[in-house]
Amino acid sequence: MLEVVSLEDARALVSKCFGALAGEVETVALDACAGRVIAHDLVASEGVPSFDRSTVDGFAVVADDTFGCSDALPALLELAGEVEMGAEPDCSCQPGKCVRIPTGGKVPQGADAVVMLEYCEEYGDGTIGVARPAAPGSNIVFENDDVKPGQVLIPAGTTLQAHHVGTLASLGMTACDVRKRVRVGIISTGDEIVPVEQAPVASQMRDVNAPVLAAAVEACGAEAVRYPIVPDDYDALFSTVKQALGECGMVLVSGGSSAGQKDSTARVLLALGNMLFHGVAVKPGKPTMCADVNGKPAFGLPGHPVAAYFMFLELARPLLVADKRAVAATAVLAEGLPSNHGRAELVAVRLEDRESRAYAVPVRGKSGLISQLSTADGYIEIARNQEGLAAGAEVRVQLF
């Protein structure tokens, strides 16, 4: 029997030993930085916008001139000129006058509000009737309203998304310092495992774990490095794992993690480094192990694809994702779930909208059936000291 640790202790051991894996710094072009982890705090060197600009098409006015006006009694203002897009206004706005201005145009000197075009009428003699009063500041974005010089806009460790790229562009940045993608070695083991493109015979099975884990690694912003399938042979596995550790910052070995005679993963990891744990009190995923090999995490994951995937998400993914904000949702459990295994249980669920509430519907299946996850949106955890969850309980769904 394995000497298991709790799932909570396994998470804590991995976090304490490795923290978050961070690659060296490299500079990439603006168009290539989405999905990458920013290396340093992004501090604004200039303000945005750099001038007071109108947020509507209309007329720039002195707000005092519009107080008390209405459809029945419009304020009559003299048209003093027009603001051209991208140009410096060639006129000012004095009391009793107004200036035509487009959306995004620079507010002329003297104006402190903009009235929307819909509330104004041109009489054809250079006079504009304003039928709606405007408070000072109406329809104007002032200089530095969006970004102030010296403001931290994007903290270091943030995974850059489309809106972050827009922020970089607004500051005139054509490149950004990011962390190099962590390389993660992926090794599938077992005499019965064959490549995906090969038709299985007898009791052979296609390699599901390597493609699943590679996709999961890439989704974390890391680089998946696939190695050939290794048979149940200690020397062959030792050589491949050692090579992977030399070339990568993390290694994932799937299969060969239980307590059978031919399961070599534990012996290999013990020979190469310090075993943190071998066995986790969780279903599915009990045979999971983790070793510290010269400061690099090496995981032994179960051969069952669902178990391997869940254990990657629980233990390895936090080391690769710099942004620790979990992608989760709160839902109501649609049906009761018994659980009296003496260990934590991870249950795949799909989310359904029912009467404006999100319900988590358990997806039934065994740990070896990866196809069950095709209909799932995430999973929930039943703690090891719980005998299950009742229908109607509020649950936290960890989204895939």
Fold of domain 5-23+181-320: Molybdenum Cofactor Biosythetic Enzyme; Chain A (3.40.980)
Query: Do the domains 328-399 and 53-141 match in fold?
Result: no
Strands 337-338 and 274-278, sheet pairing: unpaired
Give the architecture (CATH level 2) of 328-399.
Answer: Beta Barrel (2.40)
Percent of the chain scored above 70 by pLDDT? Answer: 95
Alpha-carbon separation of residue 254 from 129, 267, 304, 312, 321 (angstroms): 76, 14, 8, 10, 21
Does the N-terminal peptide bond of residue 211 adopt cis geometry, omega within 30 degrees of 0? no
Give me the pLDDT at residue 260, please.
57
Neighbours of 2 (CB within 10 A): 17
Q: Is 50 buried (19+), middle (13-18) or exposed (0-12) by CB count in 10 A?
A: exposed
Given a cut of 50, whether residue 365 has pLDDT beyond it is: yes
Token pair 């019965």: residue: 192
DSSP code of 232?
S
Q: How far apart are the first and last CA of the chain?
A: 31
Mean pLDDT of the chain: 91
pLDDT (average), residues 116-125: 95
Considering only CA atoms, which of 297, 296, 248, 322 is closest in space to residue 36? 322
Residues across the chain: 400
Q: What is the pLDDT of residue 27?
A: 96
Backbone angles phi, psi at 14, to 5 degrees: -65, -45
pLDDT at residue 368 tops 90: no
Task: Please say whether the structural domain 25-48+147-179 has been given the CATH code 3.90.105.10.
Answer: yes
Domain boundaries, the chain: 5-23+181-320, 25-48+147-179, 53-141, 328-399
Q: Taking the mean position of all CA atoms in its chain, how far away is CA 393?
A: 27
- The model's pLDDT over 49-74, given as tens digits with 9 standing for 90+, comes to 889 999 999 999 999 999 999 999 99
Per-residue pLDDT at 324 exceeds 60: no
Record: fold of 53-141: Molybdopterin biosynthesis moeA protein; domain 3 (2.170.190)
Model confidence at 1, pLDDT cuts 50, 70, 90, reads: very low
Over 50: is that where the pLDDT of 377 sits? yes
- pLDDT band for 287, please (50, 70, 90 cuts): very high
Residue 228 CB neighbours (<10 A): 11
Which ranges of the chain does DSSP label H, i.e. alpha helix? 7-18, 162-170, 209-219, 234-247, 265-272, 305-311, 317-320
Residues near 267 by beta carbon (within 8 Å), at least 6 away in sequence = 234
pLDDT of the residue at 148 = 86
3-class secondary structure, 273 = coil
* Token duo for residue 337: 């779930």
How many Å apart are CA 96 and CA 93, to the nearest integer? 8
Contacts of 373 (CB under 8 A, 6+ apart): 306, 309, 348, 363, 400
Task: Please name which of 324, 322, 321 lies closest in space to residue 219, comparing C-alpha atoms.
Answer: 321
